[in-house]
Chains A and B, each alone.
Chain A
Amino acid sequence: MSILGTRVVRTEDPVFLTRGATYTDDLTDERLTGALHLTLVRSPVAHATIASIDTSEALAAPGVVAVVTGADLDIDPALLFPGANKAMTRPFLASERVRFVGEPVAAVLSEELYQGEDAADLVDVDYDPLPVVIDPLASANDETLLFPEAGTNTAAAYNHDEEPDAGFFDGCEVVVTRDLVNQRLAAAPLETRAASAFWEGDRVTLYISNQNAQGGRDEIAGWLGLDKDKVHVILPDVGGGFGAKIGSDPEFGLVAWLSRRQGRPVRWNESRSENMTGMVQGRAQRQTVTIGGTREGKVTHYRLDVVQDAGAYPRLGTFLPMFTRMMAPGTYDIENVDSRARVVVTNTTSIAAYRGAGRPEATAAIERAMDLFAAEIGKDPAEVRKLNVVSPDKFPFTTKGGVEYDSGEYAKAIDLALSESGYAELRAEQKARRERGDVRQMGIGVSSYVEITGGGAFAEDASVEVHADGSVTVLTGTSPHGQGHATAWAMLASEHLGIGLDKITVKHGDTDLIPSGGGTMGSRSLQTGGIAVHQAAGELVDLAKQRAADLLEASVDDLEVDTDNASITVRGVPGSKSVTFADLAAAEQLKVDTTWDGKKPTFPFGAHVCVVEVDTESGKVTVEKIIAVDDAGPILNPLLCEGQRHGGIAQGIAQALLEEVVYDEEGQPLTGTFADYGIPSAAELPSFDLVEMTTPTPINPMGYKGIGEAGTIGSTPATQSAVIDALSHLGIRHIDMPLTPLRVWEAINAASEASS
């Protein structure tokens, strides 16, 4: 029986549940013995010039070995996203100007961590305040410049050269337009950022908490002016990333630099408070959607304008609108699509990837637009969607967003979600509640989505080696931090070799062991790294057969793997001679290195239905049900897949209802703790109804697509729509996320004032 598609429990978990994980701050590498602790002095103001920094008192404090400021550094400020305005570089320690609350201005190195915290309080920084820009729309006016030398706050612009065509919607029977907020979110992984460094001669070893060791190595080498082979990056266990641990943080470079300067190992692990301002955040788009079509419900025109808040220093957030534009039309076959985006800096924490990274923003926009359009023509939102989705006979389908969707059955997914939800009964129940004027109204939200996974680096390496003792080592360039690759990649190898999972070790995240790799992000891992392992194990079988042919005195074509005995035997000859992989490995190294290149991304899709109850007196929303049809092709391990969907749906509902990073006008974060920032717990969520659907991709031999971000893409608009749907009879057409009790109550209140 094939192991593929079965619910293998995570081989990672026994250690996590007993001894516990080894995160960067837990490391006991003896080369870190006697490490200095780094404490960063961070700016308490959002925008100011630095008049002076006095470190003398801190330097005299007990246990303090050094206090370093920007003036001491010999590494140049770094451009953290290559495509951004070249003037918008970030210094490793700010010395002239600070641009967000939490920006590092000085580094204290101490023997003990607490001494560093005490001393950091003694560093006296004199700030001359500058006007603060928090609102990205205001930033776009360039009245207050963050980088005067850039002459603009625009970090990048896409399709912004020409004026939008004023006649674009001419001829549409119905046109609806709306400004939307896709709010700023904090990734808030349980393990905050951390790095440890030591030097051996002119070579540095850096442990970092990150989603890609090899990318990190390249960036850090660039910052420090080193050859790549002089930087060894290792990722220990990583306690969550959600996209915010893609790319190196300047702090990592600083840790390496400080270690070299002091000639001692250096350790750094930020606090939760620092993490809530220091770690990159996500989303943060202002959108304007305009949708046009016929009274019958055919959408013919769609325009999306995006202003992306990049935060103070442009990072991966600069790229997000490209994904958003690419996926703008969603699952719909729309004849005319127009989009543009502008990326601006503000006095806030930098924006980068957060689970979905640009695609949830695209889906939220088009799905809101579809609802607004359906409401305008008075038709059922699910019906309008079905009328407009790309039909199955059109695949591969090149969209007006400019990408080629590989495979999909969008209407079928919607139908499945509707039937599983009991849509007709729900609508009847909704009607009954409206008629009796129930305080608790019901709302039903429907979303249809398609996303892009593996949308960047299409290739990945893998190596599979069987050892003489029968054990297997798999090397991968992907970088699991909760996803379960150790289990999943072992399943792929085991399927070919018949060697048990207990004998297969999957190694990742060490640049000396695995010099190339794209890491784990964008739901790319299975369709790149997983397929590479599948291919490597298959090639290893071929190699074993060639070697076995002589021993077994048979032709290669007559040989097969006896998966019960992890050996090669002659096909159709029971009791024939056989040779195990282990014996072959004992005779000669049995190892395959391979590269898989799918050359293209894949496009998972699905439909979600969310049912909510809204207390119309208090504004409180309770999610009653979420039905999720997520089609990512065949499923390697349903347990892992469901875990990804669960987490994604929870984070998606969180965006719809609870989470938002908020700043006051002075740029002070108001949501800097877990008491204020609304991460949900299980108590805020219903049980999820997961519905299976399987449409393989032709892009790889297994048909696999990515599943890591589907939950955040499908559930957010379904939940937002459900709340608005519950209130539609009051004339409410839109409420911006997060739909907190306050926001919902304010909308109800405004609607009732308007009607009276």
Chain B
Amino acid sequence: MIPLAFDYARPDTLDDAIALLAEKGEDATVLAGGHSLIPVMKVRLGAPEFVIDIGRLAELDYIRVEGDEVAIGAGTKHRDLVTSEVLGAEVPLVPAVARTVGDPQVRARGTLGGSLAHGDPASDLPAAVLALDGSIVLRGPRGSRTVGIADFYTGVFSSVKEPDELVVEIRLPRKGDAGWAYEKFTRRSNDWAIVAVAVCDGKVGLVNMGSTALRATATEEALTAGKSIAEAAALADEGTEPPADTSGTPAYRRALVKVLTRRALETAAG
């Protein structure tokens, strides 16, 4: 339960962090809230030689409205997503989802950027950003680029982000009064989702139904085609490849995702 020895640096600016990451290359890993990285290091499943701590960069810690979008700094903590008035008014799905992440300690340190960069298919926020059709701003030595969330993930814990790039911002369309809901199904209140469903404005994001966060495309199309919520929700498992573990079989997850999608859509419809 003690990590292997590693070197550590805490750059004062984002530019310095990016420069250092470029310099250290493959040997380096960035540390944000540490609530995914540190456990992995403690059980020695991961052993970075160099840890670059971006957890205290004020430059990455903001939530603000920019035109049609809300921009959230990657370093924003889950807890600040929960309490943000801007998010409460513009994209209320996000505080509702962030509230279900882990426990108060986890929310006090874990970050939105860390959660998205890590890309655990069982994590909550990627599916929410997916349901919101948000985008991710990456920055590296070659400059910045913006990637739509739908194009971001390539597999379990992997994305189009290059090793020398940082997630610096998450951009979400302002949703105002659009109906939304989050149905997270767990054994215990603080647990990771067995399955969860995020809905906003007729878009449906799924948690833990495959190797990445997924959109329930068949459900969305059925809704657009005027099908009932019940009919549309019955298609929620189409194209998914749910995992098997001690909490759920694939068959169970398929059944569950339909129930949760129906409930989320009903709640969103008001």
Q: Is B185 an interface residue (CB 8 A)?
A: yes
| Bound complex: CA A113 to CA B3 (Å) | 12
Q: When the two chains form their complex, are residues B188 and A684 in contact, meaning their CB atoms are under 8 A apart?
A: yes
Q: When the two chains form their complex, are residues B1 and A273 in contact, meaning their CB atoms are under 8 A apart?
A: yes
Q: Is A74 an interface residue (CB 8 A)?
A: no
- Which residues of A are found within 8 Å of B185, using beta-carbon distances? 618, 620, 741
- Which residues of B are found within 8 Å of A121, using beta-carbon distances? 44
Q: Which residues of B from 162 to 194 have beta carbons under 8 Å from A?
A: 185, 187-192, 194
Q: When the two chains form their complex, are residues B44 and A670 in contact, meaning their CB atoms are under 8 A apart?
A: no
- Smallest CB gap from B247: residue in A: A742
Task: Give A86-124 as 1s and 0s: 1 = Cβ < 8 Å from B's Cβ atoms.
Answer: 000000000000000000000000000110011001000
- Which residues of B are found within 8 Å of A658, using beta-carbon distances? 187-188
Given A618-B259, A620-B185, A740-B187, verify A675-B1 contact (CB < 8 Å).
Answer: no
Q: When the two chains form their complex, are residues A681 and B44 in contact, meaning their CB atoms are under 8 A apart?
A: no
Q: Which residues of A from 669 to 694 have beta carbons under 8 Å from B?
A: 670-671, 675-676, 678, 680-681, 683-684
Q: When the two chains form their complex, are residues B247 and A681 in contact, meaning their CB atoms are under 8 A apart?
A: no
Q: When the two chains form their complex, are residues B248 and A742 in contact, meaning their CB atoms are under 8 A apart?
A: yes
Given A620-B185, A749-B255, verify A742-B190 contact (CB < 8 Å).
Answer: no
The one of A113, A271, A273, A740 that contacts B247, using a Cβ cutoff of 8 Å: A740
- Which residues of B are found within 8 Å of A676, using beta-carbon distances? 246
- Which residues of A are found within 8 Å of B43, using beta-carbon distances? 273
Q: Which residues of A from 107 to 153 have beta carbons under 8 Å from B?
A: 113-114, 117-118, 121
Interface of B is mostly: loop
Q: Which residues of B from 230 to 249 have beta carbons under 8 Å from A?
A: 245-249
Q: When the two chains form their complex, are residues A683 and B1 in contact, meaning their CB atoms are under 8 A apart?
A: no
- Which residues of A are found within 8 Å of B190, using beta-carbon distances? 681, 683
- Which residues of A are found within 8 Å of B260, using beta-carbon distances? 618
Given A273-B43, A676-B246, verify A683-B188 contact (CB < 8 Å).
Answer: yes
Q: When the two chains form their complex, are residues A271 and B1 in contact, meaning their CB atoms are under 8 A apart?
A: yes
- Which residues of A are found within 8 Å of B188, using beta-carbon distances? 658, 678, 680-681, 683-684
| Bound complex: CA A745 to CA B252 (Å) | 8
Q: Distance (Å) between the CB of A274 and the closest chain B CB?
A: 8
Q: When the two chains form their complex, are residues A675 and B191 in contact, meaning their CB atoms are under 8 A apart?
A: yes
Q: When the two chains form their complex, are residues A684 and B247 in contact, meaning their CB atoms are under 8 A apart?
A: no
- Smallest CB gap from A657: residue in B: B187
Q: When the two chains form their complex, are residues A675 and B187 in contact, meaning their CB atoms are under 8 A apart?
A: no
The one of B191, B192, B246, B248 that contacts A662, using a Cβ cutoff of 8 Å: B246
Given A272-B1, A681-B190, A683-B190, verify A745-B246 contact (CB < 8 Å).
Answer: no
Q: When the two chains form their complex, are residues A742 and B1 in contact, meaning their CB atoms are under 8 A apart?
A: no
| Bound complex: CA A683 to CA B4 (Å) | 36
Q: Is B2 an interface residue (CB 8 A)?
A: yes
Q: Which residues of A from 59 to 77 have beta carbons under 8 Å from B?
A: none
Q: Is B87 an interface residue (CB 8 A)?
A: no
Q: Is A746 an interface residue (CB 8 A)?
A: yes
Task: Give B187-221 as 1s and 0s: 1 = Cβ < 8 Å from A's Cβ atoms.
Answer: 11111101000000000000000000000000000
Q: Distance (Å) between the CB of A661 and the closest chain B CB?
A: 10
| Bound complex: CA A671 to CA B187 (Å) | 14
Q: Distance (Å) between the CB of B14 and the closest chain A CB?
A: 32
Q: Is A12 an interface residue (CB 8 A)?
A: no
Q: Which residues of A from 607 to 627 have beta carbons under 8 Å from B?
A: 617-620
- Smallest CB gap from B103: residue in A: A681
Q: When the two chains form their complex, are residues B246 and A671 in contact, meaning their CB atoms are under 8 A apart?
A: yes
- Which residues of B are found within 8 Å of A113, using beta-carbon distances? 2
| Bound complex: CA A273 to CA B39 (Å) | 12
Q: When the two chains form their complex, are residues B246 and A670 in contact, meaning their CB atoms are under 8 A apart?
A: yes
| Bound complex: CA A676 to CA B256 (Å) | 20
Interface size band for A: 20 to 34
- Which residues of B are found within 8 Å of A619, using beta-carbon distances? 252
- Which residues of A are found within 8 Å of B259, using beta-carbon distances? 617-618
Q: Which residues of B from 43 to 69 have beta carbons under 8 Å from A?
A: 43-44
| Bound complex: CA A117 to CA B191 (Å) | 29
Q: Which residues of B from 20 to 48 have beta carbons under 8 Å from A?
A: 43-44
Q: When the two chains form their complex, are residues B1 and A684 in contact, meaning their CB atoms are under 8 A apart?
A: no
Q: Which residues of A from 536 to 570 have beta carbons under 8 Å from B?
A: none
- Which residues of A are found within 8 Å of B248, using beta-carbon distances? 741-742
| Bound complex: CA A561 to CA B255 (Å) | 72
| Bound complex: CA A617 to CA B44 (Å) | 40
| Bound complex: CA A121 to CA B43 (Å) | 12
- Which residues of A are found within 8 Å of B189, using beta-carbon distances? 681, 683-684
| Bound complex: CA A117 to CA B252 (Å) | 40
- Which residues of B are found within 8 Å of A683, using beta-carbon distances? 188-190
The one of B5, B191, B252 that contacts A742, using a Cβ cutoff of 8 Å: B252
Q: Distance (Å) between the CB of A384 and the closest chain B CB?
A: 32
Q: Distance (Å) between the CB of B75 and the closest chain A CB?
A: 25
Q: When the two chains form their complex, are residues A117 and B256 in contact, meaning their CB atoms are under 8 A apart?
A: no
- Which residues of B are found within 8 Å of A618, using beta-carbon distances? 185, 256, 259-260
- Which residues of A are found within 8 Å of B5, using beta-carbon distances? 114, 118
- Which residues of A are found within 8 Å of B256, using beta-carbon distances? 618, 745
Q: When the two chains form their complex, are residues B187 and A118 in contact, meaning their CB atoms are under 8 A apart?
A: no
- Which residues of B are found within 8 Å of A746, using beta-carbon distances? 252
Given A273-B43, A676-B246, A680-B188, verify A745-B1 contact (CB < 8 Å).
Answer: no
- Which residues of A are found within 8 Å of B194, using beta-carbon distances? 741
- Which residues of A are found within 8 Å of B187, using beta-carbon distances? 658, 678, 740-741
Q: Distance (Å) between the CB of A594 and the closest chain B CB?
A: 46
| Bound complex: CA A234 to CA B160 (Å) | 58
- Smallest CB gap from B185: residue in A: A618
- Which residues of B are found within 8 Å of A745, using beta-carbon distances? 252, 255-256
| Bound complex: CA A749 to CA B252 (Å) | 10
| Bound complex: CA A117 to CA B247 (Å) | 32
Q: Distance (Å) between the CB of A502 and the closest chain B CB?
A: 36
| Bound complex: CA A559 to CA B189 (Å) | 61
| Bound complex: CA A676 to CA B4 (Å) | 24
| Bound complex: CA A617 to CA B255 (Å) | 8
Q: When the two chains form their complex, are residues B247 and A675 in contact, meaning their CB atoms are under 8 A apart?
A: no
The one of A114, A670, A749 that contacts B2, using a Cβ cutoff of 8 Å: A114
Q: Which residues of B from 144 to 173 have beta carbons under 8 Å from A?
A: none
Q: Distance (Å) between the CB of A665 and the closest chain B CB?
A: 14
- Which residues of A are found within 8 Å of B252, using beta-carbon distances? 619, 741-742, 745-746
- Which residues of B are found within 8 Å of A681, using beta-carbon distances? 188-190
| Bound complex: CA A340 to CA B256 (Å) | 42
- Which residues of A are found within 8 Å of B191, using beta-carbon distances? 675
Q: Distance (Å) between the CB of B118 and the closest chain A CB?
A: 15
- Which residues of B are found within 8 Å of A740, using beta-carbon distances? 187, 247
| Bound complex: CA A680 to CA B191 (Å) | 10
Q: Distance (Å) between the CB of B18 and the closest chain A CB?
A: 31
| Bound complex: CA A272 to CA B192 (Å) | 20
Q: When the two chains form their complex, are residues A118 and B4 in contact, meaning their CB atoms are under 8 A apart?
A: yes
| Bound complex: CA A117 to CA B259 (Å) | 47
| Bound complex: CA A273 to CA B45 (Å) | 13
> Which of A118, A273, A670, A742 has most B Cβ within 10 Å?
A742
| Bound complex: CA A624 to CA B255 (Å) | 25
Q: Distance (Å) between the CB of B158 and the closest chain A CB?
A: 22
Task: Give A721-755 as 1s and 0s: 1 = Cβ < 8 Å from B's Cβ atoms.
Answer: 00000000000000000001110011001000000
- Which residues of A are found within 8 Å of B2, using beta-carbon distances? 113-114, 117
- Which residues of B are found within 8 Å of A675, using beta-carbon distances? 191-192
| Bound complex: CA A336 to CA B187 (Å) | 41
- Which residues of B are found within 8 Å of A742, using beta-carbon distances? 247-249, 252
8 contacts between A and B (CB under 8 A): A273-B43, A618-B260, A619-B252, A741-B185, A741-B194, A741-B248, A742-B249, A745-B252
Beyond the given pairs A121-B44, A618-B256, A741-B247, 15 more chain A to chain B contacts, judged by CB atoms under 8 angstroms and listed by A's residue number, are A113-B2, A118-B4, A618-B260, A658-B188, A675-B191, A675-B192, A676-B246, A678-B187, A683-B189, A741-B185, A741-B187, A741-B194, A742-B247, A742-B249, A742-B252
Which 8 A-B residue pairings sit nearest by Cβ, starting from the closest?
Answer: A683-B189, A271-B1, A617-B259, A114-B2, A117-B2, A742-B252, A662-B246, A670-B246
A interface residue numbers (CB < 8 A to B): 113-114, 117-118, 121, 271-273, 617-620, 658, 662, 670-671, 675-676, 678, 680-681, 683-684, 740-742, 745-746, 749
